[in-house]
Amino acid sequence: MKYLNAFNQYIKKYENQYPLPRLELSILHIEEVRKQVEEKLKDAVMGEPNPELVQQTIEKFFCWAVEPSTEDFSWLEVALLCRGLLVKTPEDGFLMESEYAVKVLLRKFSTQYQSYMLSAYPWQGLLNTYLNYSPSQNPVLEENWRELRMFLKNTLDEVAAQSSFKPRWLGALVSHRIVLEENATQSLAIDALQGRMEKVQRIEKEVNIPTTSWFWPELLMAQVKAITAYPDDDQFKLAIDLVLPQLQNRKECLDDGLARILNRYASCANKDTHEELETTAVSLWKSPSLEIQRNWERVTSEAKGMVQHWLARKDINDVLGELVDDNRRYEFWLQFLDQIGQTFVWLGSDARLSFPHLLLNREGRCAVLNHPGKPDNNVIMMRIGDVFIIESGARAGGKCWAYREEKMRPLLKESRLSYDVFRDRQNNIFKTIWGENDGLTHTSGSWERTFQNELTRFHIEPDTLSFGEIIHRYQLRVETLPSGAERVQHNYATGILAELLVRHGFKDNHNGFYLNPHNMGSY
């Protein structure tokens, strides 16, 4: 008894020194470890199966499809089969592209091996195929893809229910099952365009859809189709700024998306230049006036003409407005904007050094001009009908010439030209008031009348514009003064624009042109 008491005392002393956890604490510890392991397993990535084993399994399946009772499949073989729909076999090709095999797999085979196919790993293989296999215009292949989508949609809850633990991708897919819906990208596109991007962002982050999946370009194109269907022009134009940057980052959608947006823009009542849209189109497809322009065949003739209109206005403004800073030349040629089908610019050394931004996005419609002694000279070509008009962009002097297509077409292919090339009296079709072929000058007080007389010989007249269209084209602003008079602030008393304002009842009064609708004679 004495020894037993001593032993008990020894045990108590040991327990005091090394206390054992209570049973409930041990269970909690085990549970915590289990959760940690499970959390790590949620992000586990299974390696790709051996392609040879996959091929063997697919060949075995094709035999089973003919005689279902001849072969039995293990869980591993079912998993290899589900993950091998896009593996090519020598005899039968891709399982996903078979006219009958996908239906057999997802109906008859899945009934017999349901517990295997609805395990997370094999089922994920089917999901990966669905996300990576793009529906095509081939009716058979598209039908297989839809069959696969329907199978995944109908079995998702069952896979989640019988999984001992849910991998992160499976839990995310249960929360975002819209990915498996028929019109998933259309619905998500509406959310994105209406500012509800959080749903798309969560799907991108949690479901882990590959960046190479059809899902992302289809979602983007769904947005493009949605905005181009907007009946309101202003709503459509605002949405361009949301979608165009996405297109620029998704090259496989850029051509089609850009064409759709350009076609819709061409139907707008106000077709004013959209700088980013113009820059994107011209940098991607080059000038719409080039001889080889397959990309521009993607758009309507109205959309193509609209961009040509944008470029013509830009070239006239850059050469005659910015470089020359001659309001009269700028105003005169802007009269014909609707008729100018093509422009081309030759820049002198001063412009290339001092205005390098003018070289941007002018590939195929810009070249170098050599003019010894006049580095500030530049040249702009404007084609109206079959007349190619050459206007000098020198700050002082300079002439205007005109040629037919056979003269100009070869010159447009040269990367560098001398100004003397344009002084071709033999081929020039503009005559001076004295009948000479020496080019028209801007030195006379009413040179515009001389120019117009020559243009009229070739049946070229200014665009017919209403007063509102004049204000819009020349980017003027009409102010209504407290007296009721209207004022247009324009600093030049001479030139085409001054004449147009006078024709509409305005009078020049030092700091602008005024119109008093109550008393046309007093201001």
CB burial of residue 375 (10 Å; 0-12, 13-18, 19+): middle
Residue 129 has pLDDT above 60, yes or no: yes
**DSSP conformational letter for 20:** P
> For residue 459, what pLDDT is reported?
96
Band (pLDDT 50/70/90 cuts) for residue 422 is very high
φ and ψ at residue 247, rounded to 5 degrees: -60, -40
pLDDT above 50: residue 41: no
- The band of 20, judged by pLDDT with boundaries at 50, 70 and 90, is low
Supply the pLDDT for residue 135: 76
Residue that the structure tokens 């759709």 belong to? 260
For residues 434 and 232, which has the higher predicted lDDT (pLDDT)? 232
**Average pLDDT of span 288-306:** 90
| Residue 427, pLDDT score | 94
The pair of structure tokens assigned to 143 is 């039908």
Domain boundaries in the chain?
2-37, 51-175, 205-303, 309-457, 467-515
* Interval 55-71 mean pLDDT: 87
Instruction: Give the amino acid at 379.
Output: V
Q: Could you tell me if 265 and 303 are in contact, meaning their C-beta atoms sit under 8 angstroms apart?
A: yes
pLDDT for the residue numbered 21 = 61
**Per-residue confidence (pLDDT) for residue 417, from 0 to 100:** 94
pLDDT of residue 76: 93
Q: Residue 523's pLDDT band (boundaries 50, 70, 90)?
A: very low
What pLDDT does residue 521 have? 45
**Which tens digits make up the pLDDT trace of 478-493?**
999 998 899 998 888 8
Predicted local distance difference test score (pLDDT) of residue 83: 92
pLDDT, tens digit (0-9, with 9 covering 90-100), for 133-163: 887 767 888 899 999 999 999 999 999 998 8
Q: What pLDDT is recorded for position 46?
A: 55
Q: How far is CA 348 from CA 130, 328, 374, 398, 469, in A?
A: 58, 21, 8, 13, 34
Q: Which of 199, 236, 238, 235 is nearest to 219 (CA)?
A: 199
**CA atoms of 102 and 141, how far apart (whole Å):** 10
3-class secondary-structure state, position 324? coil
Distance set, CA 197 to CA 107, 170, 190, 230 (Å): 37, 22, 10, 19
**pLDDT exceeds 50 at position 75:** yes
pLDDT reading at 398 higher than 80: no
| Helices and strands (H and E) in the chain: how many | 23, 13
**Tokens representing 502?**
């006078």
Q: Is residue 522's pLDDT more than 60?
A: no
- Residue 20 makes CB contacts below 8 A (sequence gap 6+) with none
For residues 299 and 295, what is the distance between their CA atoms, to the nearest angstrom?
8
Question: What pLDDT digit, counting tens, does each position of 174-188 carry?
Answer: 999 999 998 889 989
Over pLDDT 90: what percentage of the chain? 59
Tell me: pLDDT of 36 over 70.
no
Which pLDDT value is given to residue 5? 66
Give me 399's structure tokens. 């002439």
Is 398 in contact with 377 (CB distance < 8 Å)?
Answer: yes
The answer to whether the predicted template modeling score (pTM) of the entire model surpasses 0.95 is no
Q: Pick from 352, 408, 368: which is nearest to 385 by CA?
A: 408
Crossing angle for the helix pair 301-316 and 275-285, to the nearest 10 degrees: 100
C-alpha span between 174 and 166 (Å, rounded): 10
- Tell me, letter by letter, the H, E, C secondary structure of 255-306: HHHHHHHHHHHHCCCCCCCCHHHHHHHHHHHCCCCCCCCHHHHHCCHHHHHH
Q: Is 156 helix (H, G, I), strand (E, B) or coil?
A: helix
Coil/strand/helix, residue 392 = strand
| 3-class secondary structure, 385 | coil
What pLDDT is stored for residue 372 in this prediction? 87
Quick one: average pLDDT of 123-137? 87
pLDDT at 322 over 50: yes
How far apart CA 377 and CA 514 sit, in angstroms, is 36
Q: What mean pLDDT do residues 384-388 have?
A: 95
Q: What is the pLDDT of residues 432-484, one digit of tens each?
A: 877 777 889 987 778 999 999 999 999 999 999 999 999 999 999 999 999 88
In this prediction, what percent of the chain has a pLDDT beyond 70?
89
pLDDT at 88: 86
Query: What is the per-residue pLDDT for 27?
Result: 62
Distance, in Å, from the CA atom of 33 to the CA atom of 41, rounded to the nearest integer, reads 12
Average pLDDT value for the chain: 87
- The SS3 assignment for 430 reads coil
Q: How confident is the model at residue 167 (pLDDT cuts 50, 70, 90)?
A: confident
User: At which residue do the structure tokens 């004049």 appear?
Assistant: 470
